[in-house]
Chains A and B, each alone.
Chain A
Amino acid sequence: MTPDPWAAARSGPEGTTRMNITRGFTGRPRVSDPGLPPGQYDAGDDWPVLSAEVTPDLAAADWTFRVDGLVERETTWTWDEAHALPASAYRGDIHCVTGWSKFGVRFGGVLLDAFLDAARPLPSATHAVAYSHTGYTANLPLADLTGGRAWIAWEYDGRPLDPEHGGPARLVVPHLYFWKSAKWIAGLRILDHDEPGFWERNGYHARGNPWQEQRYAGD
């Protein structure tokens, strides 16, 4: 509408401006990285830890993973049973809602499909709540957990996953903000409706797609 695209932002009345330019802020040199979702930055080698609870002292031998709720066969896997499933790795990027992204990470484990194929969600199943051995929860549409898009991972870069990062095993759903990828994963409760998890009850978005910048409820 206006020849100078920034003019409206600079002069428009409060509340109607599309952009509020910060005086003297230039920011880092722009990297036009098609792999970087809006509002994210490349954390490089850093891997910040943001869990809200005490890191649990959970041994692999005590770890279990369960799929229950609306399934034909509620099933619990031990560490060894889970490791007997076909191995699968994710290689790609992850994005945290606090703003950092990490490129080219490698998680090793098993596709979530392998567990769901055994438990067989009922036709009415639409959503899941992923829960941790700490009691942390995150809700996800079932469609985001199937079709080779989600993993139970116990390795990072070829080494056992660090407890701070969710070891012995965590959920990895890399196409959503990483709070969905519950650390110290204990199970999936399969539901026929969406039910907010830990951060979702604290104002965070129900789905959390980084490409649509779904950080908070209402985004």
Chain B
Amino acid sequence: MPATETVTGTFTPPTRFAVPGRIEVGSRAAGRWQTATLTAIRRETPRAATFRFAVPEWAGHLPGQHLMLRLTAEDGYTAQRHYSIASAPDDSGHIELTLDHVEGGEVSGWFHTVARPGDRVEVRGPLSGFFAWPGDRPALLIGAGSGVVPLMSMVRHHRARGLTVPLRLLVSARSPEELIYAREYGPETTPVLTRSAPEGVPVGRLTAAHLAPLMDDRPAGGWEAYVCGSNAFAEHASRLLVAAGQPVDRIRVERFG
């Protein structure tokens, strides 16, 4: 686990739309590129797969954090992208990432068409404590597509540690086939299927009606909300949350761009 540092005496601006308080994470680990060796590939959906890496000197992470990943070509050309960490923190010396295959994507394309166990890439991180969930406060997680990845790290952490703090996940996908981690969800999760669903399951995008029961059910002290996905989804979901009464300073948003 990274050390949590508190910076005191810094200027706090007056504001009407406060950003949530942060967990400040030490930056020592982020400064250095490390080799990550691919050890396994697990298919999740036709478009997404999980890549497991051995990173022997991994400094540990909090659920919700991401890393920077770099590929290098023979001529020294590099491509780097951010990826959320899918696995819960543990001391296995391994981490997992789940990547969507983006059409024409330089980095995700390499992972989905070339990569095989034994390949080595480079990572630096973990980065950004802002979206991290240390497992302390009740959490309401809302994700779409690969935006569920950092949220799954939280769900896995909750399970692995047997935490009793309330945790709920709303996950949106086009169809059951495209729902990442479908087999892993338990009673904490409500899938929202936008294009097709099994008999008897409603089809349609996330609405206020999905949030209402969760807001009614909120624990004393309320939820910390974590929203992750495309910008369009993040805007939609965060607006619904605000309309449902969730305080803006308790909504963290991670946009994949």
- Interface residues of chain A, those whose CB is within 8 Å of chain B, are 6, 14, 19-28, 30, 39, 41, 46, 48-56, 58, 98-100, 129, 131-137, 164, 184, 186-187, 189, 191, 195-196, 198-199, 201-203, 215-219
Contacts and interface: CB of A to CB of B under 8 A. Distances in A.
A80 to B, nearest CB: 20
Contacts of A24: 110, 114-115, 119
Contacts of A20: 33, 35, 72, 120-122
Contacts of A131: 11, 13, 15
Contacts of A49: 231, 234-235, 255, 257
Interface of B: 7, 10-13, 15-20, 22, 24-27, 30-33, 35, 68, 71-82, 106, 110, 114-115, 119-122, 124, 127-131, 231, 234-235, 238-239, 241-242, 248-249, 251-255, 257
A78 B75 CA distance: 53
A171 to B, nearest CB: 13
A49 B119 CA distance: 32
Contacts of B35: 14, 20
Given A25-B72, A41-B106, A52-B254, 15 more contacts: A14-B35, A20-B120, A23-B120, A25-B79, A26-B73, A98-B82, A99-B82, A133-B16, A135-B13, A184-B17, A195-B11, A198-B130, A202-B24, A203-B127, A218-B31
Contacts, number: 172
A28 B106 contact: yes
A136 B73 contact: no
A201 B7 contact: yes
B8 to A, nearest CB: 11
Nearest 3 A-B pairs (CB), nearest first? A218-B31, A131-B13, A48-B257
Contact of A196 (B10, B75, B128, B248): B10
11 contacts: A20-B33, A22-B73, A27-B79, A30-B75, A56-B248, A132-B15, A135-B18, A137-B13, A203-B25, A203-B30, A217-B30
A53 B114 CA distance: 36
Contacts of B12: 135
A76 to B, nearest CB: 12
A14 B33 CA distance: 12
B31 A54 contact: no
Nearest to B23: A202
Contact of B74 (A6, A28, A186, A219): A6
Contacts of A218: 27, 30-32
A53 B31 contact: no
B19 A52 contact: yes
Among B15, B110, B120, B231, max chain A CB count under 10 A is at B15
A19 B35 CA distance: 11
Nearest to B15: A135
B197 to A, nearest CB: 29
A32 to B, nearest CB: 11
A50 B17 contact: no
Nearest to B126: A203
